[in-house]
Amino acid sequence: SITIAEQPEIHLNPRLQCILADLFVQMATSGHRIVVETHSEHLIVSLRKLIAEQKISPDQVGLYFVERTATASTIREIPISKNGNIEREAWPKGFFDEALREALALATAQAKQNKDKKVAREVSNGTH
């Protein structure tokens, strides 16, 4: 049998999106064919984790990205290794990059605040 799901992650919190990946893997390893259209980073990362945990073989998973230009759309396969890695060059620019950029910006801002507080304490203690 085949199951097709369009953005099944909509209205689900990140934890439930990861559980959804577990469900899809259980279905696939039970002989079902599944096609999922998703924009969920959580679903994809969870699927990669399940591959790394050897709960499903990367040979049983096809990850594709549809790119649209002004004149046409192209489908690009994104290979996943046995340990769940995706080569940086294979991944569409901006998909995971944005979350990483935001996390780094947050960490930088927090480090700056902590440094500013430390300097302020040192100044008030006369140790700066």
* pLDDT in the model for residue 50: 96
The pLDDT of residue 17 is above 80? yes
Phi, psi of 24 (to 5 degrees): -60, -40
Torsion angle of C-alpha atoms 109, 114, 115, 121, degrees rounded to 10: 150
Q: What is the pTM of this model?
A: 0.73
Q: Which is it for the CA torsion 82, 84, 87, 90, positive or negative?
A: positive
The pLDDT of residue 70 is above 80? yes
CB 25 within 8 A of CB 50: yes
CB neighbours of residue 83 within 10 Å? 11
* pLDDT in the model for residue 58: 95
- 11-28 core/surface letters (b: 16 or more CB in 10 A; e: else): ebeeeebbebbeebbeeb
Residues 6+ apart with CB under 8 A from 57: 51, 82
Q: What is the mean pLDDT of residues 69-82?
A: 91
Residues 38-56 pLDDT 10s: 989 899 999 999 999 999 9
108: pLDDT confidence band, cut at 50, 70 and 90?
Answer: confident
* pLDDT in the model for residue 92: 74
Percent over 90 (pLDDT), the chain = 55
